[in-house]
């Protein structure tokens, strides 16, 4: 694997640049010690782009994002930008990236590091060793379906208040098949099992979802084990016995809920990575953006308190899913695990049992050393 990996780094605002600086140390380590070659570009997004260029994302940066193997993003936003026009808000930069790159598969792993098992909202023996991946459809479904709106409910005298709010859950077979393919591809790099969640018992879009996911499996991924579950049962199973799952694939709405619930199985917001993937490019790699789940955390920005692990684990996902460097990704995750096992803790990870308190940059150094 000697080809060069192109990467666009967009640190963003608040703690974004602080945690990204630690990822750069990790990238440098892999370059120096594993013979990997990274072609790294840097750009602005969010408030930092607004400050420099008057827009939350420039066309040049957008074009660059379209051309690289992977985009690595820190976080955007902050109180300084709260009064800006809607179209200039930092978040619009992020949304433009997602939309124009057409990133339809949102990946949220829930991985429980043994040293942090007591941070989980569940008991240690339920979550120890947990390693699941939720794949959420991100560009369609009830959040985008037409018709939508709040209207006068004219011909209905029995409706107290006289209004009706409408959203439409709409999925095409093509939208379902493409996110299903993402899930099956990912499963092949993991334990080769996919559980698809919908409500086929009460929703037409759920029936189509189930049929199309099954179709993709039968025709293209016969080697992957597929099961189906109603999403309400899935929510229950996720907090009852989460280790039964490997990859979960689900729609936009259910994925929104299930991935937030799964996040709490693992502890701090400072630990959670994510990826958003789109269609395969000419080189076979999917369009991809990687980012921590947390935001710009203005309350702790500039103080060296931020936990860089979510961003570092996002880079591990880039190694695995964009660069096919699965071994390097596992090694990086193991380094994080070892540092945590040694009791090294940023403030957000400091539990009652104590530990060695470290700054953002010390945490990065310890992970690189490990
Ligand atoms: P956004 O709207 O951008 O998602 P938010 O207000 O929902 O932002 P965050 O910015 O993620 O949330 O912050 C929520 C809380 O979690 C804050 O108190 C913040 O300090 C803390 N937090 C977030 N990320 C980290 C991190 N990497 N390390 C330590 N604490 C963090
Ligand atoms: Mg938030």
Q: What is the pLDDT of residues 101-140, one digit of tens each?
A: 999 999 999 999 988 888 888 888 899 989 999 999 999 9
pLDDT at site 119: 82
Compute φ and ψ for 226, nearest 5 degrees: -120, 130
Atom of ligand 1 nearest to the CA of 299: 20
What distance in angstroms lies between residue 269's CA and the mean position of ligand 2's atoms? 10
pTM for this model (two decimals): 0.92
Nearest CA to ligand 1 atom 25: 270
Residue ranges of E strands in the chain: 4-12, 37-42, 70-75, 105-111, 131-137, 149-152, 163-166, 193-198, 225-230, 247-250, 273-280, 286-292, 344-345, 356-357
Distance between first and last Cα of the chain: 23
Q: Is 35 annotated as a binding residue?
A: no
User: Is there a catalytic annotation at residue 3?
Assistant: no
**Which pLDDT value is given to residue 153?**
95
85 belongs to an annotated ligand binding site: yes
Quick check: is 171 catalytic? no
Active site residue 99: no
Cβ-contact 248, 184 below 8 angstroms? no
Query: Tokens 């579950």 correspond to what residue?
Result: 229
Q: How many alpha carbons lie under 13 Å from residue 332 in its C-beta half-sphere?
A: 28
Q: Is the pLDDT of residue 301 over 90?
A: yes
| pLDDT for position 354 | 85
Rounded mean pLDDT of 285-309? 97
In which band, very low, low, confident or very high, does the pLDDT at 268 lie, cut at 50, 70 and 90?
confident
Q: Ligand 1 pocket test: pick from 56, 300, 311 the residue with the most ligand atoms within 8 Å of its Cβ.
A: 300
CA of 296 to the centre of ligand 2 (A): 9
CA proximity to 18, closest of 251, 318, 350, 292: 292
Residue 356: CB atoms within 10 A of its CB come to 12
DSSP class of residue 269? G
* Atom number, ligand 1, closest to the C-alpha of residue 307: 28
What whole-number distance in Å separates Cα of residue 268 and Cα of residue 271?
6
Q: Is 80 annotated for ligand binding?
A: yes
Of 25, 114, 131, 143, which is the active-site residue?
143
> Catalytic residue at 5?
no
Average pLDDT for 316-322:
96
Q: 3-state DSSP call for residue 159?
A: coil
Contact 92, 269 (CB under 8 A): no
Characterise 132 by phi-psi region: left (phi > 0), alpha (psi -120 to 50), beta (else).
beta
Q: Can you tell me the mean pLDDT for 33-45?
A: 97
For residue 147, say if its preceding peptide bond is cis, omega within 30 degrees of 0.
Answer: yes
What value does the mean pLDDT take over residues 282-290? Answer: 93
Using a pLDDT cut of 90, give the percent of the chain over it.
89
How does pLDDT run across 131-186, given as a tens digit for each residue? Answer: 999 999 999 999 999 999 999 999 999 999 999 999 999 999 999 999 999 999 99
The complex's ipTM works out to 0.94
CA distance 102 to 137: 11
Report pLDDT digits (tens) over 59-108.
999 999 999 999 999 999 999 999 999 999 999 999 999 999 999 999 99
Which of 27, 31, 4, 73 lies closest to 294, judged by CA? 73
| Catalytic status, residue 256 | yes
Q: Ligand 1 centroid to 298 CA: how many Å?
A: 8
* CA of residue 292 to ligand 2 center, whole Å: 11
pLDDT for 195-252, tens place per residue?
A: 999 999 999 999 999 999 999 999 999 999 999 999 999 999 999 999 999 999 999 9
- Catalytic position from the list 60, 218, 260, 342: 260
Q: Would you place residue 351 in the very low, low, confident or very high pLDDT band (cuts 50, 70, 90)?
A: confident
- Decide if pLDDT at 53 tops 80: yes
Residue bearing the bigger pLDDT, 364 or 266: 364
Show the ligand 1 pocket: residues with CB < 6 angstroms: 15, 77, 269-270, 294-297, 299-300, 306-307, 310, 348
Instruction: Give 266's pLDDT tier (boundaries 50, 70, 90).
Output: confident
pLDDT band with cut points at 50, 70 and 90 for residue 1:
very low
Mutate to test the pocket of ligand 1, among 11, 269, 314, 347 (most ligand atoms within 8 A of CB): 269
Instruction: Among the bound ligands, name the one nearest to the CA of residue 346.
Output: 1
Q: Exactly one of 13, 246, 251, 256 is catalytic; which is it? A: 256
For residue 293, report the distance from its CA to the centre of ligand 1, in Å. 9
Q: What pLDDT score does 243 carry?
A: 96
Task: Decide if pLDDT at 2 tops 70.
Answer: no
16 within 8 A of 75, measured Cβ to Cβ = yes
Burial bucket for residue 4 (CB in 10 Å: 0-12, 13-18, 19+): exposed
Task: Give the pairing of strands 163-166 and 149-152.
Answer: antiparallel
For residue 311, give the ligand 1 atom closest to its CA.
27
């Amino acid at each position: 694997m000697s080809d060069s990996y192109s990467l666009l780094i967009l640190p963003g605002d608040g703690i974004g640049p602080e945690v990204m600086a630690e990822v750069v140390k990790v990238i440098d380590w892999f370059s120096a010690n594993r013979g990997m070659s990274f072609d790294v570009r840097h750009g602005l997004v969010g408030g930092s782009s607004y400050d420099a260029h008057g827009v939350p994302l420039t066309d040049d940066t957008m074009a660059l994002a379209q051309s690289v193997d992977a985009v690595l993003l820190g976080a955007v936003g902050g109180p300084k930008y709260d009064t800006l026009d809607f179209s200039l808000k930092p978040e619009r930069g992020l949304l433009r990236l997602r939309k124009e790159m057409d990133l339809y598969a949102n990946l949220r792993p829930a991985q429980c590091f043994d040293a942090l098992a007591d941070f989980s909202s569940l008991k240690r023996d339920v979550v120890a060793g947990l390693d699941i991946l939720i794949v959420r459809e991100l560009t369609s479904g009830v959040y985008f379906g037409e018709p939508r709106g709040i209207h006068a409910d004219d011909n209905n005298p029995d409706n107290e208040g006289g209004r009706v709010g409408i959203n439409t859950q709409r999925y095409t077979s093509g939208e379902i098949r493409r996110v299903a393919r993402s899930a099956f591809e990912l499963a092949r790099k993991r334990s080769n099992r996919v559980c698809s969640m919908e409500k086929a018992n009460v929703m037409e879009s759920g029936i189509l979802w189930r049929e199309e996911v099954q179709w993709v499996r039968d025709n293209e991924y016969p080697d992957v084990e597929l099961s189906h579950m109603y999403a309400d049962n899935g929510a229950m199973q996720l907090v009852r016995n989460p280790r039964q799952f490997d990859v979960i694939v689900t729609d936009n709405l259910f994925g929104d809920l299930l991935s937030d619930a799964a996040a709490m199985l693992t502890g701090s917001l400072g630990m959670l990575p994510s990826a958003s993937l789109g269609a395969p490019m000419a080189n076979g790699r999917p369009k991809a953006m990687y980012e921590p789940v947390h935001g710009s955390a203005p309350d702790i920005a500039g103080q060296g308190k931020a936990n860089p692990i979510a961003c570092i684990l996002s880079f591990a996902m880039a190694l695995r899913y964009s660069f096919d460097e699965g071994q390097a990704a596992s090694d990086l995750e193991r380094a994080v695990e070892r540092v945590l096992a040694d009791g090294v803790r940023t403030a957000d990870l400091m539990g009652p049992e104590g530990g060695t308190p470290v700054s953002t940059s010390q945490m990065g150094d310890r992970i690189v050393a490990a």
